[in-house]
A and B are shown apart, each in its own frame.
Chain A
């Protein structure tokens, strides 16, 4: 299904990549002076239509909030804390202006606490909804998952707002965490989100970002390791419609030996002006011997007039690694697949529907959260109904 494909599995080829001044690791700082208002020419902003951020980056004070509804299984607590407490807990500092603004402007922070050794079988569900894009909302969230705890956390964003949030996941040693953030906004919402994860020693974290709604969604998922043996699986699924800008930026910072990162993001695009951006940054530091990393981004372009930008980027400072690879592909429908299905009597639209579901299915299965699986399948179906399955399409 590939029109253009680059796949590299050999470490050697990655090593040849030029050592430009690293933008992978801008200094973390709470000081806004360290994060000037971007012009749009900066490497990290060049894909983002700044105008459509509707002034978020000006950083105006606001007391507006999203309506919050939480399902907290026994043992799990959600509480308001002060900014000072957030810092003391080890919040992962902002390395970009939106996150710095969120930290500066939010009124304290929210802490979700999962005690050490708690095995939480039911998912934690937090629903955040906004009522108008006129509302500017600053969000600051911390998730503290104690050592050897096991938990699934589902975060659902809906309605509309201009929402800018900084979230930190502090994952204790040996913990197992499965996080899903669903961006299911109304058409006009703007969402700038930074999720940063610190993976404890021998802990394993799965983080999934799913973006369907919103006018502009720009999400970071950053991972670093508090010790050796940590594993992170970063998954993503997005479906961009006419005029939508959906941007996902990943950063796996292998700052400890024997750590793993595995990234798979898949997206579909349809309609004029649908734009997706995927940036997959991986940094393997000198100390990070024996690590494994793989990242993959696949885009399926369903109609004309869409643009999918996909930039894998691997920086390696040590030669002693187990494996490093990446793949990036953007393709249209595969004529051979459609022909095969249609040669069995399946109509063209039905064949396209099968192929798109097939494209996302393995990813949805990997997410492994029963609560949202049906919803994700249904949303893919609803997205298809807008274009591919439309009668006059």
Chain B
């Protein structure tokens, strides 16, 4: 049994005018086997949540905790968090010129497993993962994300998810910039991962479209750095019909 617990997480970023509070106390718990979706309007703090859990240096955690199977993730370095079993598919995957995908993937797999993958099966595994994402195997000799189209970057993130096989995956807007065919390919990849034994998934999205293919167990509505409401999959349908207006346009008055 694995659990990812986010408790009252509070996060700031440094701005020109001093620190700015972005997460104002986020609490949620994901157990293995579960898929949670976070939905919310632009700027509500979805990416901040994802990056803070992964340990991006830009974000300062000012309160709360994140526990992976009871271990305090916030005390770990970025790479320790990954080795503990966390994975973040980024909204904007970073280009690393001159570093081939295959070299990068092998280095990452070696770091995660503590030993180099077996050469013969590894090449097959990499090609298989690329193939499942409908990426030509030539991608493995290209520089990490360099010159990939927006959709190719997203598919490459899921190929990594497939290969690196973390305990918990946080996917930040994996669906943005994908056409409908690519969305299906990516969704199949996510579902295949989620179907593996002992995996938990946090799916961050702005749109309900992907939730037709990846079925969440729990949906959280994110507004202004907090979870405004949590519910079952039906909450996504409601958002589909009514949007976020109910959450954002209601002034504090009358509450």
Footprint of B on A, CB under 8 Å? 335-337, 339-348, 350-351, 354-355, 357-362
User: B237 an interface residue at 8 Å Cβ cutoff?
Assistant: no
Cβ B82 vs Cβ A348 within 8 A: no
3 tightest A-B CB contacts, nearest first: A358-B98, A345-B82, A340-B94
Rounded to whole Å, the gap between the CB of A264 and the closest CB of chain B is 13
- Checking A336, A351, A360 against B98 with a beta-carbon cut-off of 8 angstroms, the contacting residue is A360
A342, B56: Cα distance in complex, Å: 10
Asked if residues A346 and B108 are in contact (CB atoms below 8 Å), the reply is: yes
A335 to B94, CA, bound (A): 10
- Bound together, the chains give a CA A337 to CA B145 distance in angstroms of 11
A343 to B93, CA, bound (A): 11
Q: Which residues of the other chain, A, contact B104 by a CB distance below 8 angstroms? A: 341, 344, 346, 354
Cβ-based interface call for B160 (8 A) = yes
Q: For the complex, is B90 an interface residue (Cβ under 8 Å from A)?
A: yes
A344 to B103 Cα, complex, angstroms: 13
- Docked Cα-Cα span, A362 to B164, in Å, equals 27
Which of A336, A339, A344, A357 touches B108 (beta carbons < 8 Å)? A344
Closest B residue, CB atoms, query A360? B98
Say which residue of A337, A339, A344, A350 sits within 8 Å of B57 (CB atoms): A339
For residue B211, give the distance in angstroms from its CB to the closest CB of chain A. 25
Question: Which residues of B lie under 8 Å from residue A336 when comparing CB positions?
Answer: 94
- Establish whether residues B78 and A342, one from each chain, have CB atoms under 8 Å apart when the complex forms: yes
Q: Is B88 among interface residues, defined by CB-CB distance under 8 A?
A: yes
Q: How far is the CA of A360 from the CA of B107 in the complex (A)?
A: 18
5 A-B Cβ contacts within 8 A? Answer: A339-B78, A340-B94, A343-B79, A346-B82, A346-B111
The reply to whether A354 and B103 form a contact with Cβ atoms under 8 Å apart is yes
CA distance A308 to B77 in the complex (A): 31
**Interface residue from B79, B81, B93 paired with A347 (Cβ < 8 Å):** B79
Interface of B is mostly: mixed
CB-CB under 8 A from A348, the residues of chain B are 77-79
Chain B neighbourhood of A341, CB < 8 A: 96, 99, 104, 108
- A337→B57 CA distance, assembly (Å): 12
Task: Annotate B62-103 by CB proximity to A: 1 below 8 A, 0 otherwise.
Answer: 000000000000000111011100011010011111110001
Q: B143 contacts the other chain (Cβ, under 8 Å)?
A: yes
**10 more A-B contacts (CB under 8 A) besides A337-B96, A345-B164, A359-B98?**
A340-B90, A340-B94, A341-B96, A341-B108, A343-B79, A344-B160, A345-B79, A348-B79, A354-B103, A360-B98
In this complex, what residue of B is CB-closest to A1? B97
Closest residue of chain A to B160 (Cβ to Cβ) is A344
Is B164 a contact partner of A344 (Cβ separation < 8 A)? yes
Distance of A52 from chain B, by nearest CB (Å) = 33
Nearest CB in chain A to that of B79: its residue: A342
Say if the beta carbon of B54 comes within 8 Å of chain A. Answer: yes
Q: Which residues of chain A have C-beta atoms less than 8 A from B108's C-beta?
A: 341, 344-346
Residues of B within 8 A of A335 (CB): 57-58
CB contact between B99 and one of A339, A345, A347, A355 (< 8 Å): that residue: A355
